[in-house]
Amino acid sequence: MSGDYLEQIKWTTDGLVPVIAQDHVSGRVLMMAWMNRESLQLTVSEQRAVYWSRSRQSLWRKGESSGHVQKIHEIRLDCDNDVVILQVEQVGGIACHTGRESCFYRVFEDGEWVAADPVLKNPDEIYQQ
């Protein structure tokens, strides 16, 4: 597969692009992460989400420790070529490390952020050490 698609992306000065993972059925935004060229190439070839962890400075295959893999259904690039959206099947129904469906589980109400979505599985059970 040609890497020409990589040249069309406007990468940050750090060589990254923001990526939004969205449930392919419901359309719910599950999470936001970053990709570099290698992680996007791996995502395309493996048909599962592979991100770049800025904190660990390494590749991160979503679900490698939790089992909550994101299977790719479609990859889209925005009109400015600087944001990628992944339409995914979220295996296990949990995208967030807090054990929730989405990382976007807090709602702004009366001047504060309130947790609006339930924890589906205790993170201690997900990430047994």
Report how many domains make up the chain. Answer: 1
Cβ pair 105, 116 in contact under 8 A = yes
Q: pTM for this one?
A: 0.91
pLDDT in tens, 68-125: 999 999 999 999 999 999 999 999 999 999 999 999 999 999 999 999 999 999 988 8
Identify the domain containing residue 12 by its residue range: 4-126
Contacts of 37 (CB under 8 A, 6+ apart): 3, 6, 11, 15
CATH number where 57 lies: 3.10.20.810
